[in-house]
Amino acid sequence: MGELAIAGGKPVRSDSYPRWPEWSEQERERLLEVLESGHWWATGGTRVPEFERAFAAFNNVGDCVAVTNGTHAIEVALMAAGLGEGDEVIVTDYTFFASAAAVLFVNAIPVLVDIDPGTFCIDPAAVEAAITKRTRAVVAVHVAGHPADLDRLVEICRRHDLALIEDCAHAHGSTWKDVPVGSIGDVGTFSFQESKLMTAGEGGAIVVSDPILGERVRSFADCGRLPGEWFYSHYALGGNYRMTEWQGAVLLSQLDRFPDQNRARNENALWLNDELARIPGVYPQARDERCTSQGYYCYIVRIDEEEFGATRDQTRKALIGEGIPMAMSYPAVHTLDAFATVDGFAPRLRNRSGLPDYANLDLPESMKAARTTLWFPHQVLMGDRRGVSDVAEAMHKVSQHAHELRDPG
Ligand SMILES: Cc1ncc(COP(=O)(O)O)c(C=O)c1O
């Protein structure tokens, strides 16, 4: 293998990866149909309800409510589950800001806990240890599409009478023992933001099987209205979280295309797991055998910096030089300014009494994942086998040249 590209050598890859988002004539036609129908909002519309039915069937749940985005999906799910002032919600510390911020938006308290070092998902033992008299719910994120340990989480939540909310923003198409994620806890939430596995630019969905909870979700997402009642009756303090018909139209096409994309990502990721595991110091995200399909919002590997011979950031820079696109790991939530500084929640919350001392939490696995993981965007899994073999080759190359990347002294 020649010189590293960042040292003047030839990059492993010069071709681009498949474009994201993907679209076709189908989206164009459906969007034009919406335009010409003159009916652009979901109230009395057809595309959003059609997408809701299709996405409910895809996830094997009784109902789906399409909303504005994935953050609002969590917020509405929490409201519908009856969460409010002073309640504690256990949330993983290794996630996007929104999983925890949504808890604050309903005036509840996020209690951040550590992760499993293999899957990077919430650690059920840490959940159990964090339960107090005020705990009412758990938000489990399926990181990079790998399901959190749903067997243990369901058992813990049943035993302590807690609502289990599955944040499936990374996990469209993920299954646990062949059952779609989102259908296993009380409620599942999805995001359709542009980088996600299905997208309408923005968008979200809540999937639910319990009909009473489903009705509450629909009401909170639509200004507290109830189906069949007068338009100006508002029975609860809900908001306008409605998706538009434009988004519904695009998502119908995205869903049609999804199963083939998901198959390709899974096949390529499993191949890449085997290849990368051969390189000293490179540890692909663990895949539990109960994970029967992984949505792969991104592909994550942990770098053991000692063993690999270079830091995560040096490795990342060298891989980008080799023509491999890279995403970025989340920082640990408790280190974010909003959580770690005194007025980080102002003006919504000025008095921090009763909140955890976020800045001083000891969550070593979450910190380690934030510091040592490489995140590849899902596009690297979407092409032919060469797409992933280039990733493997670039990683081998960087590994062999790792000593050159080290800081002198
Ligand atoms: C794990 C997780 N939860 C929630 C969200 C929020 O979704 P949105 O950006 O659609 O509000 C995101 C992504 O953006 C996410 O990655």
Lining ligand 1 with CB less than 6 A are 69-71, 95-96, 98-99, 141, 167, 169-170, 191, 193, 204
Q: What is the mean pLDDT of residues 186-191?
A: 98
* CA neighbor of 386 nearest in space, from 4, 2, 15, 9: 15
Identity at 2, one-letter amino acid code: G
The answer to whether residues 48 and 241 touch, using CB atoms and an 8 Å cutoff, is: no
CA of 231 to the centre of ligand 1 (A): 31
Show which residues are catalytic. Answer: 96, 167, 170, 193, 196, 225, 232, 242
Query: Global pTM?
Result: 0.98
CA–CA distance, 241 with 84 (Å, rounded to integer): 18
Instruction: Give the start-end residues of each E strand in 243-389.
Output: 282-284, 291-293, 298-303, 373-377
Question: Which of 92, 96, 167 to mutate for ligand 1's pocket (most ligand atoms within 8 Å of CB)?
Answer: 96
Which residue's CA is the nearest one to ligand 1's atom 10? 70
Helix 70-80 with 211-221: angle, nearest 10 deg: 120
Structural domains present in the chain: 25-254 (3.40.640.10), 258-405 (3.90.1150.10)
pLDDT for the residue 337: 98
Index of the ligand 1 atom closest to the CA of residue 193? 10
Question: What's the CA-to-centroid distance between 351 and ligand 1, angstroms?
Answer: 27
Cα-based distances in Å from 264 to 33, 253, 257, 394: 31, 18, 12, 21
- pLDDT average, residue stretch 3-22: 97
pLDDT at 1: 74
Query: Is pLDDT at 409 greater than 60 in this prediction?
Result: no
Digit-coded pLDDT (tens) for 369-408:
999 999 999 999 999 999 999 999 999 999 999 999 987 6
The predicted model gives 143-164 an average pLDDT of: 98
Ramachandran quadrant class, 201 (left: phi over 0; alpha: psi -120 to 50; beta: rest)? left
Q: In a mutational test of the pocket of ligand 1, which residue from 68, 69, 71 has the highest number of ligand atoms less than 8 Å from its CB?
A: 71
What's the gap in Å between 344 CA and the centre of ligand 1?
20
Q: Using one digit for the tens of pLDDT, what is the confidence trace for 102-140?
A: 999 999 999 999 999 999 999 999 999 999 999 999 999
